[in-house]
Amino acid sequence: MQLTQLEKEHAKRVRSMLSECMVLLKTNGDFPLTEPGKIALYGSGARNTLRGGTGSGEVYSHFTISVEKGLERAGFTITTKDWLDAYDEIMKEARQAFLADVKRRAKEHHVNPVVEGMGAVMLQPEYELPLSGEGDVAVYVLSRICGEGNDRKAKKGDFFLTDTEVRDILALNKQYAKFMLVLNVGGPVDLSKVSEVKNVLLLSQLGALTGAGFADVLLGKKNPSGKLATTWAAWEDYSKIGEFGDRDDTRYREGIYVGYRYFDSVGKTPLYPFGYGLSFTKFEMESQGAELCGEIVTVKLTVKNVGELSGKEVAQLYVSVPQGKLDQPKQTLAGFVKTKELAPGESQELMIAFALSDIASYDAETSSFVLEKGVYVLRLGNSSRNLSVCGALKLSKDVVTKQVRHCLGTTDFEDFKPEVTEEEKLSKDVTVLTVDPKAFEVTKVRYREDGDVDPELLDFSDDELIYLNIGSFDQSEGQFGGAIGNSGRMVAGSAGETTGVLREKGIPVLSMADGPAGLRISKKFWVDEDGAHSVGNVMLEGLADFLPKPAAFLMKLKGAKRPKKGAQIQSQYCTSIPIGTALAQSFNMRLAQRCGDVIGREMEEFGVDLWLAPAMNIHRDIRCGRNFEYYSEDPLVTGKIAAAITTGVQSHRGRGVTIKHFAANNQETNRYYNNSIVSERAMREIYLKGFEICVREAAPMTVMTSYNLLNGIHTSERRDLIDWVLRKEFGFNGVVMTDWIVDGTRPKDTANPEARASRIAAAGGELIMPGRKSDFDDMKEALKAGRLTRKQLLINGTRLLHLLRRLKEE
């Protein structure tokens, strides 16, 4: 294996970040180890360590270092090779049974097995294997796979541990002098049955170097400093108020009470709370008081390392908003900051600042964001459940901070409201600062229907304007130029391209590659006069087993070309970075920006213009199959990390990101046709806020709408979402594209309609991807019938033209 210099540089950079993405859940001082030696290694993730999830989250790097390989390279002797070999055989048998079940379900649902199998979770099997490894140290690596296209299940082998996993973990905890449970997972699992284990590390899924990163931590070369971006709890303690997994309609009855907002407000104690994470060293945190300047609140603090090892800590600031006309969660994260690497005995002075208008609540009755009168309590600490009051703010009257327009539809239910608890009494030594209501300026959003038209487009025919509004497709076959996520010709294995039929008019083509854990393009490719062609299938590479005649069917489905005689086979391996949830666990915007810089540099190297990431949907329910791609249950963490990685990518001239999936895309079940029914308040405060933060702080070049419907209308067809909220309220000044709308995805038993290209364009969607002749025909018919106007096509085309110039002329 010969790595390029770029691969080596990026591998080194990414490895240095990994410990910040790991979360130490429990420790008794047995770890880290002082030197390598004999080690008994067990578990599903020991040899087959997962670097990420499936679907668009997959990345093809040159190598993967498993936990087994990482420990051996670090000098350990694995004493359980027989156990690992035997477990491999058990997994092979379980895989065959799983494939047969997927094919059976596909037949029942009247869909292609590839569609049924995409992201499907194979439950971990039960097994009977002896625990006979030598040594005083044992590690059990528990893994869970999840991915695009299917949701997780509250079953043993997925969210729950299997009986044999529980049995062996508890046995190893007693059998070995030093034992660590390592979680190679993309989301929470229920650890309530193994609570007696004294050392637990959330390794997460950290890309190709996951095993190397673990070895660094086990030997104390690195100290884990991550914090949970999602609450971990026993199954029975998670909220069941809202619906999840319904095929047609999913009601978000829980309203704003998502994640820690729910747990804290109803008084339930999770296993591990939001923001929680330990270290191999210890820290002390002390507030230096709060200051108020206009509407800007600043809390100064000092963090000191009082332990024996170097490490980093995260300070978190929460605000308890007074109950008034609007119900409020017990507390909301308002800001956070991470220390530098602190040596033993070293201190660092820090500050956390936020604008009060950023924590304003949405009043649907008046269509405004408001700060209600009362006392706002500030709490500082290192998790949502380890906080001390550090100040308070008093507002004498209600203040409107932003006046908007009612939109996004209505629900057929009232949002959940927890019982109001007695207002907290502050101690006399808490400083209460008075907020001047006159310090706020009311933002009044203008919703004027506008849209500039570039003179260059005035002589374009109607057909040419329609082509500009649609991704590249094969006009002879009526479909886009390849399989889902593998249709590009400029870059082999890229997800898609803008139209190429207007090159003679000087309109360049943009190449797009999937994400969000790196660039998802082909490992191997060849080039002829028609462009670059993949060797194999990027999107369906892991799904061929679901097909009746894999090779022949795959070639037909993809429209792939065999390499011509004498064609040179080239390679383009990319860096696999940590999954989105792991990046968020770092609570480090600089780290996220450095990851974005890695991606942007590889976009330059391989000719990719747009990265179809970051993915920003909220961890509404721990069963969502794509949560591993998403950052957090909290919109502030989501927005800040997304803004940082966006900044990193777009610091490279001519490279842009596509933040997605806009919006309320929180389950994979029937994802193309599911209708998310959500209140306007919950949308604005939870599901849209992260997007707003990213847009305002980092100016992403494109936004991708989601597959789902929102209150009865596809998000891609909602002008109020695309134009009113995104453009007018958030100030977005780029291009809006759809997710990949393709044929053959509609189940016969779904009640909701398909998204239509003409309605998308009329709503202000500039780019319908990946492009089909049926989209062209639909738009042409709508233009003729008056359902779509030439003026709107000119406006859409102008925005796309401006993006092309920004990317191609920079």
Which pLDDT tens digit goes with each residue over 589-621?
999 999 999 999 999 999 999 999 999 999 999
The predicted structure's pLDDT at residue 482: 45
Q: 543 pLDDT band (50/70/90 cuts)?
A: low
Which pLDDT tens digit goes with each residue over 127-150?
999 999 999 999 999 999 999 989
The predicted structure's pLDDT at residue 480: 46
Percentages helix, strand, coil for the chain (3-state, rounded to 5) are 30, 20, 50
Neighbour-count burial of 671, counting CB atoms closer than 10 A to its CB (0-12 exposed, 13-18 middle, 19+ buried): buried
Length of the chain: 810
Tell me which H or E stretch contains 376.
Answer: strand 374-383
Residue 293 has pLDDT above 70, yes or no: yes
Q: Are 220 and 32 in contact (CB under 8 A)?
A: yes
Residue 491 has pLDDT above 90, yes or no: yes
Residue range 306-326: mean pLDDT, rounded:
98
Angle between helices 5-17 and 589-606 (to 10 degrees): 160
Q: 555 pLDDT band (50/70/90 cuts)?
A: very low
The predicted structure's pLDDT at residue 85: 97
Percent of the chain having pLDDT more than 90?
86
Residue range 778-805: mean pLDDT, rounded:
97
The predicted structure's pLDDT at residue 321: 98
Q: What does DSSP assign to residue 725?
A: I
Q: What is the DSSP string of 593-611?
A: HHHHHHHHHHHHHHT--EE
Which pLDDT tens digit goes with each residue over 194-225?
999 999 999 999 999 999 999 999 999 999 99
Which pLDDT tens digit goes with each residue over 380-400?
999 999 999 999 999 999 999
Neighbour-count burial of 473, counting CB atoms closer than 10 A to its CB (0-12 exposed, 13-18 middle, 19+ buried): buried
Angle between helices 689-698 and 635-650 (to 10 degrees): 30
Judged by average pLDDT, the poorest of 547-551, 673-677, 689-693 is: 547-551
Sign of the dihedral defined by the CA atoms of residues 773, 777, 782, 784, in that order: positive
Bridging pattern class, strands 178-184 and 200-202: parallel
Residue range 523-546: mean pLDDT, rounded:
78
The predicted structure's pLDDT at residue 556: 44
CA distance linking residue 382 with residue 313, whole number of Å: 8
Q: What is the pTM of this model?
A: 0.96
CA distance linking residue 446 with residue 449, whole number of Å: 9
The predicted structure's pLDDT at residue 220: 98
Residue range 315-321: mean pLDDT, rounded:
98
Q: 255 pLDDT band (50/70/90 cuts)?
A: very high
The predicted structure's pLDDT at residue 746: 77
Residue range 467-491: mean pLDDT, rounded:
69
Judged by average pLDDT, the poorest of 103-107, 372-376, 668-672 is: 103-107
CA distance linking residue 277 with residue 515, whole number of Å: 27
The predicted structure's pLDDT at residue 751: 87
Cβ-proximal residues to 459 (8 Å cutoff; 6+ apart), any chain = none
> Phi and psi dihedrals of 570, rounded to 5?
-110, 165
Which pLDDT tens digit goes with each residue over 43-64?
999 999 999 998 877 899 999 9
Q: Are 732 and 691 in contact (CB under 8 A)?
A: no
Residue 362 has pLDDT above 60, yes or no: yes
Buried b (16+ CB within 10 A) or exposed e, 348-361: bebebebebbbbbb
Q: What is the DSSP string of 148-216?
A: TT----SSBTTTBPPHHHHHHHHHHHHHSSEEEEEEE-SS--B-GGGTT-S-EEE----STTHHHHHHH
The predicted structure's pLDDT at residue 113: 80
CA distance linking residue 44 with residue 182, whole number of Å: 11
Say how many Å lie between the first and final Cα of the chain, rounded: 36
Q: 481 pLDDT band (50/70/90 cuts)?
A: very low
The predicted structure's pLDDT at residue 540: 59
Q: 547 pLDDT band (50/70/90 cuts)?
A: low
Which pLDDT tens digit goes with each residue over 145-194?
999 989 999 999 999 999 999 999 999 999 999 999 999 999 999 999 99
Residue range 240-244: mean pLDDT, rounded:
97
The predicted structure's pLDDT at residue 750: 84
541 CB neighbour count, 10 Å cutoff: 16
The vertex-678 CA angle with 677 and 682, nearest 5°, equals: 170
Residue, of 657 and 751, whose pLDDT is higher: 657
Average pLDDT, the chain: 93
